[in-house]
Amino acid sequence: MTDNSDFAASVLALPPRSQPFKPFAIYDKDGDSLELFLSDEDYRAERVDHLITVYISQETDRIVGSLIKGVSRIEKDLQTRMPGFSISIVAGKVRIDHLFLASMWSIPDLPLAQRVIYQRIAQEAERYAVQAEFCGTK
């Protein structure tokens, strides 16, 4: 590799999406994080706390996505503290709204303003029934 122009060329050669945008979530093992995209609008990120970063529309200021960090830690915590949550994981997939609520419950004394953000994201994820692969965590 001579410079990053090879990288740029390979990224720009990725096939463009062929269908209208649909909300989706993706788990990334390198960041041990799960990203949720509710829209394809331009966004900026705002860190809420050590678990959640929300993606805010550059144009409308509404939440258009989010990132949960430490997913494998949350998963382990759930298995020990809230074993009933395991029923939400079906065939290796988890509903994202459940994961956000579980993350919220994992933080003691979460301030109301942050709780509202967690709940709003969970509601949006529920509305679109977004699921993510939850297997293969570290």
Partner 1 sequence: MSSQSPESVRAGYSTLQAINPHSGVVWEVYLSQLQQAKTAKLGMGKTKELAYLVPETLMKPQAVFIGLRDEGDEGLCYVGSPSCSYRGTDGKQADPWVGQVYLVFVNKDKVVFSWRWERGVNGMPENYDKRFSKQVL
Binding-site ranges for partner 1 (CB under 8 A): 1, 3-4, 7-12, 14-17, 21, 24, 26, 28, 30-31, 33, 35, 37, 40, 42-47, 50, 55, 58, 67, 69-70
**Which of 12, 87 has the CB closer to partner 1?**
12
Backbone φ, ψ for residue 4 (5° rounding): -85, 5
Write the CA distances from 3 to 10, 49, 126, integer angstroms.
13, 36, 43
Residue 55 CB, shortest distance to partner 1, in Å, is 8
Residue 130 CB, shortest distance to partner 1, in Å, is 13
**Which of 2, 84 has the CB closer to partner 1?**
2
Backbone φ, ψ for residue 5 (5° rounding): -65, -30
Residue 84 CB, shortest distance to partner 1, in Å, is 28
Determine the Cα–Cα distance for residues 72 and 51; give it in Å rounded to an integer. 12
Residue 134 CB, shortest distance to partner 1, in Å, is 15
CB-based contacts of 89, cutoff 8 Å, min separation 6: 134
**Which of 1, 87 has the CB closer to partner 1?**
1
**Which of 31, 111 has the CB closer to partner 1?**
31
- For residue 121, give the nearest of 105, 138, 98 by alpha carbon: 98
Distance of CA 65 to the CA centre of its chain: 7
